C-alpha cells in the first residue's frame, strides 16, 4: 500500500471530516509520503491516541463520526433522498469502508517503513484495531430519518440559551416505572405524546398542581421512554425567543417537546403575550413537529398583586380572565393533587419494594410519617427522598 494523499480521495458528503475530525486532519492526512518523517510519525501517533482516547476501533470511530456528522449535505439527503444524493452518500461510505480495510496499523507501518529515507523503527510502534465499517446508505438513511443527524442524533435533550440550542450531556434517567400512582394523569401525557409521535392530532399540555407531585418528573420520564423523541428545556427568561427556537427546529425531521417549568408571569410581562400568541396560532405559529409541555403550581398564571385585589369587580374579573386565558390555550390541562395519607404510604411501599427494602410495614409507614412531618408535608417527592434516606440508614446500620 502506498501511503500518500491520493489514497484519501476527497469525500463528497462528509467533507467536514477532513478539517474538523482529528483522526483525519491530524492523522491520516499527515501520513502523506511527501511529509517529513517526524510529521508522518506524529500522524500515526495521533491516530492511535484518538482511538485509545475513545476506546474504539477505527471502524467504530468512523461509524460514529458519520452517524453524528454535522454535514449540511447529509442533513439535506436525509430530508430529500434523491437518487443522485444517495449515490453520493454510498460513494462516501464505500471510501470509508476502504480506509478501514486498507489502513490497518500493520499496513500503514509497513508502507511508512518503505518510504525512501525512512529511519524510524516502525515495527516498534503500537498498533490499533481496525475493526469493521458496515454502514450502508440505506441503513444510514433509515437511522438518520428516525434519530436525526448531527447534535440531534447525538443528544436527546437541549436547553435554549441566548437564542441558541445547547446540548445536555447528562439527562435525568428517570423512567415512567419509577413514578408511582397518578396513573390517570401520566396516561394522558403518554397517550398525547404517542399521538404526536405518530403524526396524529396532539395537544400542548399544562401540568398543574402542588409541588413535588411528579409534574416535571413525568415530562422527563416521557423523554426516556421514546428514543425518537427530542426535548428542549426553555427557561422562562427565554420565552420571548420562541419564534427563533421554532425556526431552528421546524425543518428538522424529528419530534420536539419544548418544556417550560414553573410557568408564572408577573403583571405586564411581555413574555406572557409571546407565549399566548404562540399557543393561539399567530404569524409565528408553532410548527407541526413541536409541542409545548409546561408545569405550574398556579391555576392563574399571572401573579395577583395588591392592586388586583383593590380594583372593582369588573376590573378584577378582567384581570382573572386575562390570567386564565393562557391556561385555556393549552389543549390538555392535567391536575396533580397532593396525596392523602394512605396514597402517600402506598407510594412509599412501592418505592421501598423497588429498592428491595425489607422491613415491617408498620415500621416503614411510621418512619415515613415522621420523615414527612419533618419536611412539612406528604408528596411523591418526599416519598422518594424518604426511601433514599431509609436505604442509606439501613445499609449503614443506623436507626430510622
Distance of CA 150 to the CA centre of its chain: 12
Q: What is the pLDDT of residue 154?
A: 94
Q: In the chain, what are the domain boundaries?
A: 5-147, 155-336, 341-396
Q: Which of 222, 233, 290 is nearest to 261 (CA)?
A: 233
pLDDT digits (tens, 9 = 90+) for 129-188: 999 999 999 999 999 999 999 999 999 999 999 999 999 999 999 999 999 999 999 999
The total of other beta-carbon atoms located within 10 Å of residue 209's CB is 20
Edge-to-edge strand list for the sheet holding 332-336: 164-167, 157-161, 229-233, 255-260, 290-296, 205-209, 332-336
Q: What is the pLDDT of residue 285?
A: 72
Q: What is the pLDDT of residue 312?
A: 54
Per-residue pLDDT of the chain (400 residues; tens, 9 = 90+): 566 555 567 899 999 998 899 999 999 989 988 889 999 999 999 999 999 999 999 999 999 999 999 999 999 999 999 999 999 999 999 999 999 999 999 999 999 999 988 999 999 999 999 999 999 999 999 999 999 999 999 999 999 999 999 999 999 999 999 999 999 999 999 999 999 999 999 999 999 999 999 999 999 999 999 999 999 999 999 999 999 999 999 989 899 999 999 988 877 788 888 888 888 765 567 899 999 999 998 766 766 555 555 555 544 444 455 556 777 889 999 999 999 999 999 999 999 999 999 999 999 999 999 999 999 899 999 999 999 999 999 999 999 8
Q: What is the pLDDT of residue 267?
A: 73
Alpha helices in 103-182 (DSSP H): 105-113, 137-147, 150-154
Q: Model-level pTM?
A: 0.85
Please give the grid coordinates belonging to residue 115. Answer: 518510504
The total of other beta-carbon atoms located within 10 Å of residue 106's CB is 11
Q: Which residues contact 159 (CB under 8 A, 6 or more apart)?
A: 165, 166, 168, 232, 233, 234, 235
Is the CB of residue 18 less than 8 Å from the CB of residue 25?
yes
Is the CB of residue 246 less than 8 Å from the CB of residue 215?
no
Compute CA distances 76 → 72, 139, 173, 232, 324, whole Å. 6, 16, 32, 22, 42
CATH number belonging to domain 155-336: 3.40.50.300
Amino acid at each position: 500500500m502506498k501511503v500518500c494523499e491520493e489514497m484519501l480521495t476527497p469525500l463528497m458528503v462528509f467533507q467536514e471530516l477532513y478539517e474538523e475530525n482529528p483522526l483525519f486532519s491530524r492523522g491520516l492526512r499527515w501520513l502523506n509520503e511527501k511529509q517529513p518523517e517526524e510529521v508522518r510519525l506524529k500522524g500515526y501517533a495521533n491516530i492511535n491516541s484518538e482511538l485509545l482516547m475513545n476506546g474504539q476501533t477505527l471502524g467504530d470511530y468512523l461509524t460514529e463520526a458519520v452517524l453524528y456528522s454535522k454535514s449540511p449535505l447529509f442533513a439535506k439527503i436525509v430530508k430529500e433522498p434523491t437518487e443522485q444524493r444517495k449515490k453520493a452518500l454510498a460513494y462516501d461510505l464505500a471510501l470509508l469502508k476502504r480506509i478501514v480495510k486498507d489502513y490497518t496499523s500493520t499496513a500503514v507501518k509497513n508502507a511508512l517503513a518503505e518510504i525512501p529515507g525512512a529511519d524510524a523503527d516502525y515495527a516498534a510502534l503500537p498498533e490499533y484495531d481496525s475493526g469493521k465499517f458496515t454502514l450502508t446508505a440505506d441503513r444510514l438513511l433509515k437511522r438518520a430519518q428516525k434519530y436525526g443527524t448531527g447534535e440531534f442524533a447525538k443528544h436527546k435533550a437541549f436547553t435554549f440559551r441566548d437564542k441558541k440550542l445547547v446540548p445536555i450531556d447528562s439527562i435525568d434517567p428517570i423512567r415512567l416505572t419509577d413514578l408511582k400512582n397518578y396513573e390517570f394523569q401520566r396516561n394522558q401525557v403518554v397517550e398525547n405524546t404517542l399521538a404526536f409521535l405518530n403524526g396524529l392530532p396532539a395537544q400542548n399540555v399544562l401540568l398543574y398542581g402542588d409541588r413535588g407531585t411528579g409534574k416535571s418528573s413525568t415530562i422527563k420520564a416521557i423523554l426516556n421512554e421514546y428514543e425518537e423523541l427530542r426535548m428542549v428545556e426553555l427557561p422562562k427568561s427565554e420565552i420571548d425567543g420562541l419564534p427563533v427556537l421554532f425556526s431552528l427546529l421546524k425543518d428538522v425531521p424529528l419530534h420536539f417537546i419544548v418544556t417550560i417549568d414553573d410557568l408564572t408571569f408577573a403583571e405586564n410581562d411581555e413574555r406572557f403575550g409571546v407565549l399566548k400568541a404562540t399557543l393561539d396560532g399567530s404569524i409565528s405559529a408553532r410548527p407541526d413537529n413541536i409541542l409545548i409541555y409546561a408545569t405550574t403550581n398556579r391555576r392563574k398564571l399571572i401573579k395577583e398583586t395588591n392592586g388586583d385585589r383593590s380594583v372593582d369587580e369588573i376590573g378584577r374579573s378582567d384581570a382573572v380572565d386575562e390570567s386564565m386565558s393562557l391556561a385555556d390555550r393549552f389543549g390538555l390541562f392535567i391536575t396533580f393533587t397532593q396525596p392523602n395519607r394512605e396514597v402517600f404510604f402506598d407510594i412509599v411501599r412501592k418505592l421501598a419494594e423497588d429498592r428491595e427494602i425489607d422491613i415491617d410495614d408498620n415500621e416503614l409507614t411510621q418512619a415515613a410519617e415522621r420523615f414527612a412531618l419533618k419536611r412539612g408535608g406528604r408528596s411523591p417527592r418526599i416519598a422518594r427522598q424518604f426511601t433514599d434516606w431509609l436505604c442509606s440508614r439501613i445499609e449503614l446500620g443506623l436507626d430510622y
